[in-house]
Structure 1
Amino acid sequence: MYRECRVCGSGEITFDQSIHLGKQVSWFTWKTKQVEKEITMHGNTVQKKMTVTAKESEYGSLEVLQEEVNKDIKRLSKHFFNIRHQYRTLRYLREDLTTDEILVHIDFSENYNCKYSSEIQSMHFGSSQKQISLQTGVAYSKGKVVSFCTVSDCLKHNPAAIWAHMHPVLEYLRNETNATVIHIISDGPTTQYRNKQNVYLLANKVFSYGFRCATWNFLEAGHGKGAADGIGVVVKRTADAFVNKGGDITKASELMTALESCTSIKLMMVSELNIKDVEEEIPLSVKPVPRTMQLHQILVPQQGMISHRPLSCFCSRPNLVCNCFQPETASFPVQSDFDVIDSSSPSKERETEPVRDANQLQRIELVDESLISQHCVVKYDGRAYPGVVLAVDQDDEIEVKTMHRVERNRFFWPMSDDSLWYPKENIITLLKNPPRSVTKRHVEIEPAIWMLIEQEEDEF
């Protein structure tokens, strides 16, 4: 399936061997890079670095082109297999649910912009328009389908917000059915569903609703659309129709009132306090799950224990535990009744991070969502730039928003974000502390760390 079979071989394309491999050829490829452009600011023309994606022509030998084609085909084959497998497996599950199971497909819809039936012009600009957060979904049980939408004035989409939005849904489903097993389907953005905090909450919270086990299944990247997205469309169009008839929607409670009588979608309210309550349930330090970006199924057979694998499998239902796709196990601390953890009290889970020498470069060993929001220094065009990690992907690449450099160890944040995807090898070090201010606009990296970074620059 991934062209790694010892029997079938690598599955590489075989090319005509009569052609001379040293022959020079050209081909097109998509590239993301930084370019300098002249822009006018306050009457002055300045050079600004911008990230652009463009289709470019490359030149090289036929042998290099063949290697590039085989690399791309291998990545495409894995991606395509994941798409087909996840769709096929989850469709089979939905069509073969037992009376003991519930399948819930969820997704955050784009925030709804609040509207008045009649507005002055300035309401269309700036931050005048408030927004409402929507998490939509469809719940499937034996012989029954329920569409739902949770609404909130709080715009957070982090793991705490996810489980605050899930709370009224799970309570409703548990009261309406006799199911003891729940299967959840979602896409896999690292800032929302596919991260260690969400896995920790899944391993603990799902049991408080009376379920004996659960699975969380991720659709392949770029292919997460489904029924939940249709619910979001219906909610927004129905709300717009209400406004067009003379109504006003300025907050989540008004959206609930406006839609309750004109849609069969079950609407539920989530407050900011609900989200804060869940945030307090998450320990300050949660260990990451290895290969988070590659897994597509998380199984929770018992509280605090998970089993994860690169693809979903339900061949052993109703027990769910099987050895397909080489599952790995991990455990999390079990929180009794989810009491708030006292940050002043010592605990083992708060000491998972090893103490590091502050005057050493910290290399990246494992690319996972725990890197997101960390400060780092990247290597670009032979120079070092500090920045913040925005995202990671399953190919060990890291998206970093970088600062601009004006002189030796002097940096500043540009007016527009300057972000780019870097291979893991281009991350010089993670920074324990963010760069510190030296003027109103400029910052510097700790001098001891900067000296080590300069030594790296000399070797670029």
Structure 2
Amino acid sequence: MAKTKKSVDELKWRKTELQRLRREKLKNNPDAYEREKQKERERYHRRKSQNKIKTIKQLTPRQQRIKKKIWRNSSKRYREKQKEKQRSIDQYINENTPPSTPEPGPSQLQVVVLPSRQSRVGRKIVKKNRAKVHRDNQKLKSHLMKAEAKARKYKNRYFRLKNKIKRNSPMTKVNTLLKGHVVSAEVKKKLLFHEALVSQISTNYSNLPKKKSTQKYFRDVLTGKILKKYKCMGELNFMSYKVKRSRRYNKTTALKNIQALRLRVQDFLEKDINSKLCPGKKDTVTRHKLIKQKRLLNKTLIQLYDDFRKENAIFLSYSTFCKLKPFWIVHPNVNRRDTCLCTVCENGELLIRRLKILNIINENCLDKVCKSMCCPEDMLEKCLSRLCNKCNKKELEITAYNPDDVSFYEKWVSKTVDVNIKGYIKRCKKTIKEQIQCTKRNIVDELNKQIPNLFKHISNRNHQYKAIDYIKKYITDNSAVIHVDFSENFACKYANEIQSMHFGGSRQQLSLHTVVFYYQNKEDGIIVSESLCTVSESLRHDPVAILVHLQPVFDVISLRVPNLSILHFVSDGPSTQYRNCKMFYIIGSRIKNNFQNLRSITWNYTERGHGKGAPDGVGGVIKRIADRLVAMGQDIENIDKFLELIKGMVKNISLIKVSQEQIDNNLSLPSNIQPFKGTLQAHQVTWSQEKPHILQIRRLTCNECTTNKNCDHYHIGEYKIPLQLDPESFHVSNQEDECNLGSPSNIYEDRKINGILFVYSLLL
């Protein structure tokens, strides 16, 4: 049977049906449907780039009108189709829905009339137009304000220029000055002579040849001490202005690079003697997304400006000095209490401020008292030690007062007080600010009594700051400087805590030992610094714990400086941590074992109460980031979580974990360590490979004398490192024992070592 030929309509219908089935199949397969849409999008963009598809803007005006007409017709058909569909649905619902219940009365029925679609569209257009009008109004207001400001500026400039050009005669100036006043003819004649003389001098000065020598001679003839004494130099302002301008230009051109001057001011202000670093995690200053640890000025900017001028042979105005001050170096805020003050300095300041209030002395701070009793050039160490022949007999100037008048002064003291704790009386040591009632004579006597100790304290502080800065500045390729300090323990926190956790004793604390070490870069010879922080669950801060915390630091330094031969340490001087006989033993017998070529070690202590430095800033950054993470919902409940979160947040600080077992199981110290008399006076301890069993103890840091001999300037004594004799305190490692006892040759060379000790060491 022959096939019947299908009509064109049947073929179209068949093709449409196949397309519909294909689309339904695609929609049922999400992956294939997404690939098909991506393919169509690519085809559309390809045809559009080939100009096969044109946008409405690319058509001619006639084509645009035709296209818009097609759009309107299509939208009209679509809306009619939607309305027809909705009518059919409503008809079907009405025909197949049973009768509804009786409608409630007007009081029970609340009719809500919704706005139509056209109304909603209209309201949107109205809001859009109102917003546009408001924006245009604000722009016009801004332009109007700028135009008015510019008009005022040019108006004022015009009047100033007009007044400047206007030249009154001397008689006119006198009449203007005396307007409304009745004076004698003689006074008027004197005023007229003054104005005429000033006008004549100004005219002669402007007619001088443009030679600096001639103008300078003319100025020297007219100016002098008498005019300065009676404050009449302002009458010659037409010359003083040019003097000021020429002097500023000639001296500031000596330093062309303003960035170099900015760095010099920054280095000067960042010295520990001029400003102190804030150790707190909240003590930061942010500007232009740059976060810096805050530093507080130790003096006023005027005093620092004078010190800068003495130290640097550069002309710099006070206003420029203030502008070049870094933004993170700020004045201490009186509204924020300072918790890192030195006891000696603060007690001295309290005495001096009290005497100033009583009008007994003219100085109001400790620094001014020192300057008044020392040489006017500078407060040298010799002057502060009262060894200078010029100023050792200077005394504090005291005005007349009644010695028997009763007054008071304040003083920080530590007292043992009885405290009632749960019904039991316990004696506790507390530090309080005590108010001492006495006569004015007693206050003056107390200040005179404290002045020697104050001067010695300030001298030690200044000397240590300068000596440590010198060590950091002149680091060689075989030396390094390690600045260490314990940060305040970090208390682990949860993002949300119950009351018993917040107020109880369940919170775990972590010990942070921060280190900043400096070394010379091999490639360019520039001194660079690296920051490390060792974290431990152990809260021990004794010398054994310090040695364990320093072990990872030694490993890093060995990689950075393979040929290390000179090692400098910098720290504060608490007697329970860094400055004691056990630490002296570790310096002389343990640190050298971590380096092969080490020849000398120096440990430098800052003056008590003045030990804030770069490690405090490292601790502040870490604790601040940890608190920020807790505030964002992270829980820091132990040391592992602390390290996991912080390591991903800090880039320039290496965090290393030190377990409690490493500290508890570390090699114990020998039991025969003897204390050194004068430990609290020591500010430098040196060890040398030439005398491995002897430490040189010095009152202050000396950069002139070598480490293997007695210092000619600050020598206190020698500390002999004891040999480890207690068998229970020996480690199982033979290598450690050799380091403790030394080689037989060294024992033979030391005459003070008993032969029995040598035999005992050989047996071991």
Q: TM-score range with shorter-chain normalisation?
A: 0.5 to 0.7
Cα offsets for 1:289-339 (capped at 9, x unmatched): 221111111011133321011111112479897422235222112559x99
Q: Partner amino acid for 1:180? A: S
Cα offsets for 1:340-359 (capped at 9, x unmatched): 339xxxxxxxxxxxxxxxxx
* Partner residue, 2:454: 76
* Partner residue, 1:103: 481
Q: Partner amino acid for 1:132? A: L
* Partner residue, 2:496: 118
Q: Partner amino acid for 1:204? A: S
* Change in 2 beyond 3 A, CA 1:243/1:47: closer
* Partner residue, 1:236: 623
TM-score of the superposed pair, with normalisation by structure 1: 0.65
Equivalent of 1:28 in 400, 405, 409? 409
Give yes or no for the alignment of 1:328 onto 2:712.
no
Asked if the contact 2:698–2:711 (Cα under 8 Å) also holds between the matched residues in 1, the reply is: no
State the distance in 1 between where 2:661 and 2:553 align: 17
State the distance in 2 between where 1:100 and 1:13 align: 48
Give yes or no for the alignment of 1:53 onto 2:432.
yes
Asked if the contact 1:114–1:251 (Cα under 8 Å) also holds between the matched residues in 2, the reply is: yes
Equivalent of 2:664 in 250, 264, 276? 276
* Partner residue, 2:294: none
* Partner residue, 2:55: none
Matching of residues 365-444 of structure 1 within 5 Å = none
* Partner residue, 1:3: 385
Q: Partner amino acid for 1:333? A: P
State the aligned residue count. 336
Equivalent of 2:551 in 143, 167, 174? 167
* Partner residue, 1:301: 688
Give yes or no for the alignment of 1:127 onto 2:505.
yes
Q: Partner amino acid for 1:221? A: R
Higher mean alpha-carbon deviation, 194-203 vs 247-256, is at 247-256
TM-score of the superposed pair, with normalisation by structure 2: 0.40
Please provide the CA RMSD for this pair.
3.4
Equivalent of 1:205 in 583, 590, 595? 590
State the distance in 2 between where 1:197 and 1:38 align: 34
Asked if the contact 2:531–2:654 (Cα under 8 Å) also holds between the matched residues in 1, the reply is: yes
State the distance in 1 between where 2:730 and 2:479 align: 33
* Change in 2 beyond 3 A, CA 1:21/1:6: farther
Report the CA distance between 1:223 and its aligned residue: 0.7
Q: Which has a greater percent of strand? A: 1
Q: Partner amino acid for 1:274? A: Q
Q: Partner amino acid for 1:71? A: K
Report the CA distance between 1:203 and its aligned residue: 1.0
* 1:293 counterpart SS class: helix
State the distance in 1 between where 2:678 and 2:534 align: 31
Q: Partner amino acid for 1:226? A: G
Q: Partner amino acid for 2:456? A: K
Q: Larger relative contact order (C-alpha < 8 A, sep ≥ 6)?
A: 1
Unaligned stretches of 5+ in structure 1?
343-460
Report the CA distance between 1:189 and its aligned residue: 1.0
State the distance in 2 between where 1:39 and 1:156 align: 29
Report the CA distance between 1:139 and its aligned residue: 0.6
Asked if the contact 2:483–2:515 (Cα under 8 Å) also holds between the matched residues in 1, the reply is: yes
* Partner residue, 1:144: 528
Equivalent of 2:730 in 316, 341, 356? 341
State the distance in 1 between where 2:647 and 2:601 align: 31
Identity of aligned residues (%): 31
* Change in 2 beyond 3 A, CA 1:85/1:11: farther
* Change in 2 beyond 3 A, CA 1:162/1:35: closer
* Partner residue, 1:89: 467
State the distance in 2 between where 1:65 and 1:181 align: 49
Q: Partner amino acid for 1:248? A: D
Asked if the contact 1:137–1:147 (Cα under 8 Å) also holds between the matched residues in 2, the reply is: yes
Q: Partner amino acid for 1:56? A: Q
* Change in 2 beyond 3 A, CA 1:290/1:234: same
Unaligned stretches of 5+ in structure 2?
1-380, 521-526, 732-764
State the distance in 1 between where 2:715 and 2:530 align: 34
Instruction: List 4+ stretches of structure 1 deviating above 6 A.
Output: 18-22, 35-42, 46-50, 317-321
Which has the greater radius of gyration? 2
* Partner residue, 2:395: 13
Asked if the contact 1:194–1:293 (Cα under 8 Å) also holds between the matched residues in 2, the reply is: yes
Asked if the contact 1:182–1:213 (Cα under 8 Å) also holds between the matched residues in 2, the reply is: yes
State the distance in 1 between where 2:421 and 2:543 align: 41
